Amino acid sequence: MAELSALARSHSVLFHTDATQAVGKRPFSARGLDVDLVSLTSHKIYGPKGVGALYIRRRRPRIPIKPMFDGGGHENGLRSGTLNVPALVGFGHAAELCIAEMTEEAARIQTLRDHL
């Protein structure tokens, strides 16, 4: 992933990755991979459905993102509307659990995979 990001950057192309399948299952760092944009979703880590996140690199240079809808001006003008606070809290808690249990869960899944 870091190599692809470097290749994209060498051609002045933004690099986006959909990390929904990796996050919570293996160590992941958007900054470590030097990617520009990362999509995440809560339900893939056993969090609530209907909530996700978009990581947007802020430095070297800042990524210019335009909102899809006008209004509200939430999130520095990137989105409008009322946040689903319970779902966001659930997403955060699911992420905390994934970090705490990632090593044991990976071993459990590997045992299941090997048995299959």
The per-residue pLDDT for 57 is: 85
Spatial neighbors of 1 by CB under 8 A, at least 6 apart, are 17, 33, 35
Of the listed ranges 14-18, 29-33, 87-91, the one predicted with least confidence: 29-33
pTM here is 0.78
pLDDT at 34 over 90: no
Residue 72 pLDDT grade (very low, low, confident, very high; cuts 50, 70, 90): low
Alpha-helical (H) ranges within 1-116 are: 2-10, 30-33, 74-77, 85-115
- Looking at domain 2-115, its CATH class is alpha beta
- What is the pLDDT at residue 38? 92
The tokens describing 81, both together, are 């509307």
